[in-house]
Chains A and B, each alone.
Chain A
Amino acid sequence: ELKVEQNPLFLSMQEEKNYTIYCNYSTTSDRLYWYRQDPGKSLESLFVLLSNGAVKQEGRLMASLDTKARLSTLHITAAVHDLSATYFCAVDDSGTYKYIFGTGTRLKVLA
C-alpha cells in the first residue's frame, strides 16, 4: 500500500528565510502534485510534476521530483507572511489515478 510522508509536519519560519519541505513516498510513481490549503478553505493546485527530474517554479516556491529516490521537495525562497498555509503533496498510486495525500506541512511565516 502506497504511503506518503511529509516532513516537517510543522514549520515556523522567519520572513526572508529559505526552507524546504520534503515528500517521500513508498512505491513507484511518476505523478506527484503539490497543493496549498488555507485554514477553512479547500485545496488549491500549485504544481504538477510528471517525470523524473521535473522542476517547476512559481514565485517564491519551487518544486522538484526525483522518482528514483521517491522524493519530492518544495523549496521556499525568502518566505513572506502570505505563504502561511498547509502544503500537501499527493502521489498517484501506481498509475491508477487514485491519489494518496501526505499528512501535510503546516507552515507559519513570522513577521
Chain B
Amino acid sequence: DTGVSQNPRHKITKRGQNVTFRCDPISEHNRLYWYRQTLGQGPEFLTYFQNEAQLEKSRLLSDRFSAERPKGSFSTLEIQRTEQGDSAMYLCASSLALHRGTGLPDTQYFGPGTRLTVL
C-alpha cells in the first residue's frame, strides 16, 4: 500500500468559487479524518468518519464546508463560496479503529495535503 493520497496537491481558486478535494485512505483503514493547517499552526480538526458515518464535526466547520465518505473508502471535502480565510493546507489522515497487534486505538497516517489558495 502506498499510503494516504490526496488530490489535487495544489488548488488556486477565486473567491466565491466552490472547490472539492479528494482523499484516498490506506485501504483497510476504517477511520478517516480531515484537518486544516495554516502556516505556523498545528492541524485543526474538521471532521472524521468511521466507515461511511460522519461521527464528529468541528464547530469551526461552517455551513460552507461539507465532507462525505459514501462507500466507506475515499472521502471528499467540499468548500462552497470560498473566502480568502479558507486558504490553508487541508490534510487527510486515516487509521484503524484498533491496532491489530495491541487492540488499542491506532495512530493516524497523514496524506501529503492539498494546499488551497483563494485569491
Contacts and interface: CB of A to CB of B under 8 A. Distances in A.
A33 B45 CA distance: 14
A97 B56 contact: yes
B45 A99 contact: yes
Interface string A72-111: 0000000000000000101010001111111110000000
A101 B43 CA distance: 6
A16 B10 CA distance: 38
Nearest to A106: B40
B42 A97 contact: no
B91 A42 contact: yes
In this complex, which of B33, B43, B106, B108 has the most chain A Cβ atoms within 10 angstroms of its Cβ?
A: B43
Contact of B42 (A45, A48, A50, A88): A88
B45 A98 contact: yes
Interface stretch (B11-19, B62-70, B73-81, B109-117): B109-117
A1 to B, nearest CB: 9
B84 interface: no
Contacts of B40: 104
A41 B37 CA distance: 12
Interface in A14-60: 31, 33, 35, 41-45, 48, 50
Interface residues of A, number: 23
A33 B109 CA distance: 12
Interface string B25-37: 0000001010100
B41 interface: yes
Given A43-B110, A48-B107, A97-B50, 11 more contacts: A42-B111, A45-B108, A48-B106, A90-B43, A97-B48, A99-B108, A101-B35, A101-B44, A101-B45, A102-B42, A104-B42
A-B CB proximity, top 7 nearest: A101-B42, A45-B107, A43-B110, A42-B110, A98-B56, A48-B107, A101-B43
